[in-house]
Structure 1
Amino acid sequence: MVQEQDWTQVVAAATRAPSIHNTQPWRFVAGPDRLELHLDPDRSLPVLDPTGRQQVISCGIAVEFAVVALAARGLATEVDPVPDPADPGHLATVRITGSVDAPADDRALAAAIERRHTVRAPFEPRTVPDDLVERLQAEAAGYGAWVKPIAGEDEEIATVLLTSRAEEIEQGDPDYLAELERWLRTDPAAVDGVPTDAVPSGDPHERASNWLVRDFVAGQRDPHRFRVAGDPAAPPPEVERPAVVLMGTHGDDRVAWVLAGRAVGRVLLRITAAGLAASPLTQALDWPATRVRMRAQLSLVGHPQMLLRLGYPRQPGEGEPAPPVSGRRPVQDVLSFEPTG
């Protein structure tokens, strides 16, 4: 049996999971031998994520963080991704199945939970090791997911153009910009949303990178023309070329999204433990049209669920502040306990 104070610590680890726009769209219900995860419909993104796919993936990441935290405590688990077909908001149940000796690897992954954070700034010019990418592929397969490195000029160009096109669509949608604005936070003590201090202050289009990060303050900038490759008005600078991997699943329903989230959670902790960081490049996956085009142009067998930019984060120079960390809702706001007696 797991005591309430222990569940509080496990859920605190689970809620360190990243989520789309840091909406933290989860609720947890704990019992003596299980932890239920539910989707919180009050934190939805009806413009960006009308099906809830990205928020369910976010919840799947939180499930994996909980599983890792329990493993580090020496507790074996099994996860039921379809606990109640009549309640689609009940996404998963983590059940305690026994006690084990916590391997050093589980403890290392659990320690990475606190260190992990999204890095949108340029990475160091270091190559991501091939053997690490191979390990990510093997671990994701354990959740029925796949990891595809975006390799070769043709794949890179196709994915970059789709990402840029999706960003252009989003910036032209007033409803999207209004929804994005609602989740921006200027208060560094905010417990949810995206802190403005954590996003690049300059226009991402002027950044020396071949990958366009999401512009969280697009609604506050003057409209500009999206330039295409080869535009003489924009000679190519020396660019950052991080490793980029696409993650996906064979199915595309809520169960697949939960499993995709678990695989993403495992990947994020694995790279954090290895000293790397990641940021999502999900614009092309936000919109059905560009998501379908990505499947076709990359000849994918399955459904793309997450595009991640990987690399070694630059360390702050002397006197520079550490990058801000997005806030988290208090555990008591997201965790309840089954009645006893």
Structure 2
Amino acid sequence: MEEQDWTRVVAAATRAPSIHNTQPWRFVATADRLDVFLDRNRALPVLDPTGRQQVISCGSAIEFAVVALGASGAAADVDLLPDDADPDHLARIAVTALRSPGDEERTLAEAIERRHTVRAAFQPQAVPTELVDRLQDQARRFDTWVKPITRSEEEVATVFLISRAEEMEQGDPAYLKELESWLRTDPTAPDGVPVGAVPSEDPHSRPSNWLIRDFVVGQREQQEFLAPGDADAPPPDVERPTVLLLGTEDDDRRAWLQSGRALGRVLLHATAAGLAASPLTQALDWPATRTRMRSRLSLVGHPQMLLRMGYPPEPTGTVSGRRPVGEVLSFAPVG
């Protein structure tokens, strides 16, 4: 692989989603491999003190790189956590052969540029069951399960935990300060969440029972928390997105990476099918609500990501920026 080839692969990898668009990754390339590292300089010590969500983000970037390699005609093997002495060395992607790319690889690679987080309300069109089944099959390749939240009692419990966690976060000054530090008013900013990508209305007033994260809570009058079932709560049947919970049997760094790879693959298949998604991770930010989710949903394993998914409106909103490849990619010396 030439330097320009790795530059294209890493450009695709950096299109992966990341918590608050922190892009917590760096890459080192040689002729036949790409090493992926966690960049601790882009940490979220309040929201993500263990680094779990940022490692998941890097897992998605790893999978985007694999997809880009495949579409360019390169087969690759992925070795997770290849260095016991360096836990931040997350993966080694080795090119093993050159071959003609398949139709699926080309389709997924084309989806990389189109995929972005959509927080606006989705169209009132149901996601086909067979597509959800296909997404579940894709996640299983990475030892990750996908549970659709469809039963009424599961939905009520999950909605409550999301709302409660959002309330807890909004009451934490350190969280609000960290959140504000990643909100961007400049639409050309290379990282962070642009204001244009955030719905202008208060999420509590939104006609949906699924509460998205409020990125501008410190800049508007806060509303009183409304529990599900409250007479003044938003109607539960206006926006009905498909909600998918991704989880793993274990809850260590390898499991986080695998769930991130599964997330990346799921999002690309969903994008290719015309869907969009946004995270609903508030209840997974806090150990207490994450533990309660395991109990309330009788999960066998650990929840890693909660996705709201559906057919996006037109236009889909502002696309978050990306750091220049030159900031995240370096080349190891030869010899």
Normalised-by-shorter TM-score class: over 0.9
- What is the alpha-carbon distance in structure 2 between the residues aligned to residue 277 and residue 270 of structure 1? 10
Matched AA of 1:240: E
Asked whether the equivalents of residues 241 and 308 of structure 2 are also in contact (C-alpha less than 8 Å), the reply is yes
- What is the alpha-carbon distance in structure 2 between the residues aligned to residue 18 and residue 235 of structure 1? 29
Residue of structure 1 equivalent to 2:68: 69
Normalization by structure 2: what TM-score? 0.98
The reply to whether residue 37 of structure 1 matches residue 31 of structure 2 is: no
Change (3 A) 1:156 1:237: closer
The reply to whether residue 217 of structure 1 matches residue 216 of structure 2 is: yes
Matches within 5 A, 1:117-136: 117-136=116-135
Matches within 5 A, 1:49-88: 49-88=48-87
- Secondary structure of the corresponding residue to residue 36 of structure 1: strand
Matched AA of 1:263: A
Q: How far 1:197 moved relative to its partner?
A: 0.8
Residue of structure 2 equivalent to 1:108: 107
Superimposed CA distance per residue, residues 258-311 of structure 1 (whole angstroms, 9 cap, x where no aligned partner): 111000000000000001000000000000000000000101001000000110
Residue of structure 2 equivalent to 1:340: 334
Superimposed CA distance per residue, residues 313-341 of structure 1 (whole angstroms, 9 cap, x where no aligned partner): 0123xxxxx62110000000000001014
Name the stretch that deviates more: 79-88 or 46-55: 79-88
- What is the alpha-carbon distance in structure 2 between the residues aligned to residue 104 and residue 14 of structure 1? 20
Superimposed CA distance per residue, residues 44-82 of structure 1 (whole angstroms, 9 cap, x where no aligned partner): 000000000000000000000000000001111110012
What is the aligned residue count? Answer: 335
Residue of structure 2 equivalent to 1:277: 276
Superimposed CA distance per residue, residues 129-178 of structure 1 (whole angstroms, 9 cap, x where no aligned partner): 11111111111111010000001100100000000000000000000000
Q: How far 1:235 moved relative to its partner?
A: 6.6
Asked whether the equivalents of residues 15 and 112 of structure 2 are also in contact (C-alpha less than 8 Å), the reply is yes
Superimposed CA distance per residue, residues 226-279 of structure 1 (whole angstroms, 9 cap, x where no aligned partner): 012333344737510100000011111111111110000000000000010000
Asked whether the equivalents of residues 161 and 289 of structure 2 are also in contact (C-alpha less than 8 Å), the reply is yes
Residue of structure 1 equivalent to 2:175: 176
The reply to whether residue 153 of structure 1 matches residue 147 of structure 2 is: no
- Secondary structure of the corresponding residue to residue 86 of structure 1: coil
Q: How far 1:100 moved relative to its partner?
A: 2.0
Asked whether the equivalents of residues 163 and 227 of structure 2 are also in contact (C-alpha less than 8 Å), the reply is no
- What is the alpha-carbon distance in structure 2 between the residues aligned to residue 271 and residue 231 of structure 1? 34
Matched AA of 1:334: V
The reply to whether residue 253 of structure 1 matches residue 247 of structure 2 is: no
- Secondary structure of the corresponding residue to residue 87 of structure 1: coil
- Secondary structure of the corresponding residue to residue 105 of structure 1: helix
Kindly report structure 1 stretches of 4+ aligned residues shifted beyond 6 Å: none
Matched AA of 1:24: Q
- What is the alpha-carbon distance in structure 1 between the residues aligned to residue 19 and residue 34 of structure 2? 22
Superimposed CA distance per residue, residues 61-110 of structure 1 (whole angstroms, 9 cap, x where no aligned partner): 00000000000011111100121011011011101111122100100000
Note the residue ranges of structure 1 that are not aligned, 5 or more in a row.
Answer: 317-321
- Secondary structure of the corresponding residue to residue 228 of structure 1: coil
Matches within 5 A, 1:15-30: 15-30=14-29
Matches within 5 A, 1:236-247: 236=235, 239-247=238-246
